[in-house]
Structure 1
Amino acid sequence: MLVHGLSGSGRWWRRNLEALSGRHRVYTLDLLGYGSSRRQRALSVRESAALISDWLDAEDLWGITLIGHSMGGHICIRLAAGHPQRIENLVLVCASGLLKASAYRTALNLPRALITGRKRFVPRILTDALLAGPLNLWRNASDLLKDSVQDCLPMITSRTLVVWGERDALVPLPLGQMLARSIAGARLEIIPHAGHVVMVDAPEAFNAAVLDFVDGPQAAG
């Protein structure tokens, strides 16, 4: 299951779907307030985690691999900590959750984040942000900056891969290193030259890292 981040949509995984779906059944979603669900009020991180959990219950899905980017990773942390028996693998991609800053200071990093990422993806970022609207963006940005996941990280028992862009300007690499150290057995994969939207900036490296983690010898063992 692929969970996008703040101002994103399921379209942000377009460069990953073919590789991942070649070996696995893949679900993408648009969080409430974003993408095809843009006309609805955005939920908080914890509310989104609860809603996804309810959907997994309704579909009777087990042995899940959760892949979450930025705010989506934050949501996945909450979900994996609360339902360890259901989530087999957890992939956290430039995840928020340990970010300590004001919404204003974080917004100041947005131009630099756009510059360090893939330039051809900028129109998609701006379009999805426009569709979500300033109220949903501000509501979620304020919520995620207040919601630290530090206390729930020891509760995660899923196999965990932390993937980070070396040049992430929004959620800096030291936070990814701290996140990996705080989850038992977590593995850290740093993608050189990639920015915050690492699965778009370096899709081949990202896809290879995820598939090696999910399907590699350690998984079989």
Structure 2
Amino acid sequence: MHYRVSGEGSPVVLVHGLSGSSRWWRRNLDALTRHHRVYSLDLSGYGSSRRQRALTVRDSAALIGNWLEAEQLSDVTLVGHSMGGHICIRVAAGHPQRIENLILVAASGLLKASAYRTALNLPRALVTGRKRFVPRILTDALLAGPLNLWRNARDLLKDSVQDCLPLITSRTLVVWGERDALVPLPLGQLLASSIAGARLETISHAGHVVMVDAPDEFNAAVLRFVDGPRASG
């Protein structure tokens, strides 16, 4: 698993989604690295780790959990988008002592659909997102290859995180794009209501790739949650 490190401060770990790469966080790094040490991961099979075979959601979660332990990272803010959010739910449930803040961005863990039906929503998801980002989506999908994408799509749609949600003790923020065509907003509302103390932040005019479609609003929401005043009790 390849990763990039930038900035100084408390650790923030960024986990991209299906067909993504660490480059999907490019519009967020300047804001996050001002006060945090940011680890941008390339999951096995994607980005700079594309020569490796893609792992299942559960195996990716186990790998990230082992990596956190090996690096002795603590008080981590773990941020995951789509499939990355799905993976991060399992990491937070399995390593609560390492994860202080959990930020789930359009996470796929409660999505129930066939891979075929989900694929039919891809054109609409591209249209509702930032058009200039489409070449990056297509390039990263091509680098990952159809076999990795198909394996991971089938796996994440079979893997529900419902059993993990009661085990999450981290402060949790759920971030969703109002126009998400791949993982609709009602799933974000359900996810937030299923995690004790979780907050939901909806970003209007954003689609599935929230941190790209509305980077300023996304960055502000994340930093308010991580660095802002804590609620008493």
Return the alpha-carbon distance in structure 2 between the equivalents of residues 124 and 48 of structure 1.
23
Displacement, 1:220?
Answer: 8.8
CA distances 1:161-194 after superposition (whole Å, capped 9, x unpaired): 0000000000000000000000000000000010
Mark the runs of 5 or more structure 1 residues left unpaired by the alignment: none
Tell me the matched-pair count.
Answer: 221
Return the alpha-carbon distance in structure 1 between the equivalents of residues 164 and 66 of structure 2.
20
For the 8 Å contact 1:34–1:132, the answer to whether it is kept is yes
- 2:43 corresponds to which of 15, 31, 49: 31
- 2:137 corresponds to which of 102, 107, 125: 125
- 2:152 corresponds to which of 121, 137, 140: 140
- 1:47 corresponds to which of 53, 59, 71: 59
Displacement, 1:152?
Answer: 1.0
Runs of 4+ in 1 over 4 A off after TM superposition: none
Displacement, 1:52?
Answer: 0.7
One-letter code aligned to 1:11: R
One-letter code aligned to 1:151: D
Residue 150 of structure 1 aligns to a residue whose secondary structure is coil
Q: Over aligned residue pairs, what C-alpha RMSD do you find?
A: 1.0
Displacement, 1:201?
Answer: 0.1
Mark the runs of 5 or more structure 2 residues left unpaired by the alignment: 1-12
1:85-104 alignment runs, 5 A limit? 85-104=97-116
For the 8 Å contact 1:213–1:219, the answer to whether it is kept is no
Q: 1:192 matched to which residue of 2?
A: 204
Residue 151 of structure 1 aligns to a residue whose secondary structure is coil
Kindly indicate whether residue 22 of structure 2 is the aligned counterpart of residue 18 of structure 1: no
Return the alpha-carbon distance in structure 1 between the equivalents of residues 229 and 178 of structure 2.
26
Kindly indicate whether residue 193 of structure 2 is the aligned counterpart of residue 181 of structure 1: yes
Q: Give the percent of matched residue pairs that are identical in Structure 1 and Structure 2.
A: 85
Q: 2:163 matched to which residue of 1?
A: 151
One-letter code aligned to 2:103: V
One-letter code aligned to 1:26: V
CA distances 1:191-211 after superposition (whole Å, capped 9, x unpaired): 001000000000000000000
Instruction: Decide which moves more: 210-219 or 17-26.
Output: 210-219
One-letter code aligned to 2:109: G
CA distances 1:127-159 after superposition (whole Å, capped 9, x unpaired): 000000000000000000000001110100000
Return the alpha-carbon distance in structure 1 between the equivalents of residues 156 and 166 of structure 2.
19
Displacement, 1:219?
Answer: 6.9
Q: 1:4 matched to which residue of 2?
A: 16
Kindly indicate whether residue 94 of structure 2 is the aligned counterpart of residue 82 of structure 1: yes
Q: 2:9 matched to which residue of 1?
A: none
Return the alpha-carbon distance in structure 2 between the equivalents of residues 124 and 81 of structure 1.
31
Return the alpha-carbon distance in structure 2 between the equivalents of residues 220 and 213 of structure 1.
14
Q: 2:84 matched to which residue of 1?
A: 72
Return the alpha-carbon distance in structure 1 between the equivalents of residues 90 and 108 of structure 2.
11
One-letter code aligned to 1:31: L
Higher helix share: 1
Residue 37 of structure 2 aligns to a residue whose secondary structure is coil
Instruction: Decide which moves more: 112-121 or 81-90.
Output: 81-90
Residue 65 of structure 1 aligns to a residue whose secondary structure is strand
Return the alpha-carbon distance in structure 2 between the equivalents of residues 27 and 185 of structure 1.
26
Residue 175 of structure 1 aligns to a residue whose secondary structure is helix
Residue 141 of structure 2 aligns to a residue whose secondary structure is helix
